[in-house]
Amino acid sequence: MAQVKFKEIEVDGKLFDVYVSEWRGEFKVVPRGEKPEGSEVNVVASDFVYDKLLPQLKRKVKEAGTRVSVPFAKMDQGVLRMGVARGIHASKGTVLVTWSNGVKDELERYVRDTYDIPPQEVIEKANELSGRIVRLRDEAKTLEKELEAVLKPYAQRPDFAARGVDTKPTIKELVQAAITATITKSEKAPA
């Protein structure tokens, strides 16, 4: 798909080249000297209508030049982690984060599972409670496995393909038999 250079424009002191697709007629804006081909990760703005392109480009340039720093806390595997949201990823829409230890990351969500940074005593209490929750969950998993092992010999899992071998009635069969016995007793005439 051939891209033809249409014109050069300047927005807020930054120079851009505008290309138009010969095949689709779509306008694409790239930084000066680059071409909008290949994976097109360098495309700053694009639209099929040239008049809509300039406002979109101005907004993108303003967004790119804006620095944000939104501190937050997030529970992560039993620990309340502190971080700073730096912006939103242009193509994926994820929140760009720098954690307190300097590691950069991306979050899928931000609002539902994040908190304002609390005082130190609240952080310590939250970490203590969260640690207890993690330990209790691990203990519950261990107990569930132990319970399953204890009850395994008594499980009612009939093998319908080999019913002749497994003569142990299922709970459904036992209930049906009890219902049938009750009905049979009520149908008998009193002596």
Residue 128 confidence (pLDDT):
92
Please check whether residues 86 and 143 belong to one and the same domain: yes
Nearest CA-CA partner of 46 in 21, 76, 72, 9: 21
Please check whether residues 130 and 162 belong to one and the same domain: no
- What's the 3-state SS for the chain? CCEEEEEEEEECCEEEEEEEECCCCCEEEEECCCCCCCCCCCCCEEECCHHHHHHHHHHHHHHHHCCCCEEEEEEECCEEEEEEEEEECCCCCCEEEEECCCCEEEECCCCCCEECCCCHHHHHHHHHHHHHHHHHHHHHHHHHHHHHHHHHHHCCCCCHHHCCCCCCCCHHHHHHHHHHHHHHHHHCCCC
Q: Give me the CATH number covering residue 124.
A: 2.30.30
Where does a domain end: 25, 43, 65? Answer: 65
Please check whether residues 83 and 140 belong to one and the same domain: yes
Please check whether residues 73 and 122 belong to one and the same domain: yes
| Cα separation, 68 vs 99, whole angstroms | 15
CA atoms within 13 A on the CB side of 131: 7
Q: Give residue 132's domain range.
A: 67-155
Residue 191 confidence (pLDDT):
56
Please check whether residues 130 and 168 belong to one and the same domain: no
Please check whether residues 85 and 118 belong to one and the same domain: yes
Please check whether residues 77 and 149 belong to one and the same domain: yes
Residue 146 confidence (pLDDT):
94
Residue 141 confidence (pLDDT):
95
- Number of domains comprising the chain: 3
pLDDT along the chain (191 residues), means of 10: 80 84 83 73 78 84 76 86 83 82 83 81 92 93 93 71 60 79 64 56
Please check whether residues 151 and 72 belong to one and the same domain: yes
Please check whether residues 50 and 89 belong to one and the same domain: no
| Structure confidence by residue, pLDDT tens digits, 48-79 | 888 888 888 888 777 766 778 889 898 888 88
Please check whether residues 88 and 115 belong to one and the same domain: yes
| Cα separation, 155 vs 40, whole angstroms | 59
Please check whether residues 72 and 50 belong to one and the same domain: no
Residue 65 confidence (pLDDT):
67
Residue 9 confidence (pLDDT):
85
| Cα separation, 32 vs 132, whole angstroms | 56
